[in-house]
A and B are shown apart, each in its own frame.
Chain A
Amino acid sequence: DAKTTQPPSMDCAEGRAANLPCNHSTISGNEYVYWYRQIHSQGPQYIIHGLKNNETNEMASLIITEDRKSSTLILPHATLRDTAVYYCIVSKEYGNKLVFGAGTILRVKS
């Protein structure tokens, strides 16, 4: 599975959009980009995933660059409850495991 690079931490003001970047320059054609988050020591929570196209759901939007070498997770109106560690993971189609890196600690501040 391709390796991902994320900034160790970011701050965001409550009510503003949080844009979390991820670099995955060695991604291959059959690999998806997944985003999970972990609030304190709870189980990782699935947010969104995509292959090529931008994706949006009720939680977030995922923007994948045309060359697929990087992506951005957007939380449109961050709240204090969005404070968590956010993991960007690249996983093969029909893959067996998720490889978690250190992630980005997002702190939403009032």
Chain B
Amino acid sequence: DSGVTQTPKHLITATGQRVTLRCSPRSGDLSVYWYQQSLDQGLQFLIQYYNGEERAKGNILERFSAQQFPDLHSELNLSSLELGDSALYFCASSPNPGETQYFGPGTRLLVL
């Protein structure tokens, strides 16, 4: 158990819908990262937050957005969902940027 929690574990929804994935970092960690793992793309970095501020962006679609709240939990919002958004979404946290990242168990999203 890494100490990073993610909810929900599984999510099934329809195309065009919007969902919110939630991540609680390890106690004391200020930095949160989001990754997407699909069958054809592997594990890809989406976005990073540090102490409430966006710090780095990766291959994140415009339909996706994220934020980190004052209590340091983070949410990833996925809208106008397409079949290709079906994937595992992982959150990771680290004490500070650049330090070892610890991953949560992931949210499995299925878009039908």
Contact = CB atoms under 8 A, between A and B. Distances in A.
Interface residues of B, number: 26
A104 B100 CA distance: 21
Contact of B43 (A34, A49, A100): A100
Interface in A63-98: 87, 91-98
Given A46-B2, A96-B55, A98-B35, 11 more contacts: A41-B106, A42-B105, A45-B2, A49-B100, A92-B98, A96-B33, A96-B56, A97-B45, A97-B56, A98-B45, A98-B101
Interface residues of A, number: 23
Contacts, number: 61
Q: Is the interface of A mostly helix, strand, loop or mixed?
A: loop
A30 to B, nearest CB: 10
Contacts of A36: 103
B97 interface: yes
Interface of A: 34, 36, 38, 41-46, 49, 87, 91-102
B48 A97 contact: yes
Given A94-B98, A96-B97, A42 B45 contact: no
